[in-house]
Structure 1
């Protein structure tokens, strides 16, 4: 897939072609199943095309369209989240959360699992990573976020029902998007 937009086209056609290319790159970045390179690489290529063709006013990258809002999935627990309000699944939101909110969500899903109601749980596994900083090796806290879909464990087994949820470029975790019925809480 070439990143260049043909120069032998009239200016408006080149702009339209560049916009189509950016939209395709962003769609690939949002689809983990078809992603041969990282989402960040696709977004970086999209940024290059936007800058090259002066399209800053024509299209915004997903992270630039996000708003901080409060969301709920059950009406009882409310979380601070970042959401692109145009990214919806059957009308429901697809939020991403900072780690401290993921910890609260993990606690609530595990509590609900004990009541026999919850079929998905979130887990935060804490550990440490070694990092080289200022010519010194330092131990820093690290976390791994897991999403377990218990409803499918009998048929698929633990490996297939457990997903590692990686943080995005802003250290936010996308949980339950296009699966759970997240909705905005009006203050």
Structure 2
């Protein structure tokens, strides 16, 4: 596809957390984490004489995802805890993090793939948005009668100083499904 001024996108095709693939996520939100610069003003007799404002600092992004499945492996990647694989006689077991201070769980890279559309439907291309140096948080659950359960997870992306807050690429394929 030639470069265009805009690329209409919708639908989350895949989310990856350090390569672990999620194909059932249906909501994704990225909100910038910023620190507003302080403003100093010199006002004399009700008149603004001079002002100076420090720049706004971008620290990274806060990401929120909603997944339509319970994924113990993702829970372990986001919040720690212990995952014991199942056997023939007993299913898997996940024990969440211990009570007390939550230990940060590092995720090197999270990528979100959204479908690109044109006037005749999907183009077969994807916008891949990649966030680095991420920290997981506790998973939230929601259950409602006659509906499939949903889990919501949040991640803080805090890249090193002087690096970009995210990377956006137009790609032609999704990673090969490995799970």
State the TM-score, normalized to the length of structure 1. Answer: 0.21
Bigger Rg over Cα: 2
Would you tell me which structure has more strand in proportion to its own residues?
A: 2
Would you tell me which structure has more helix in proportion to its own residues?
A: 1
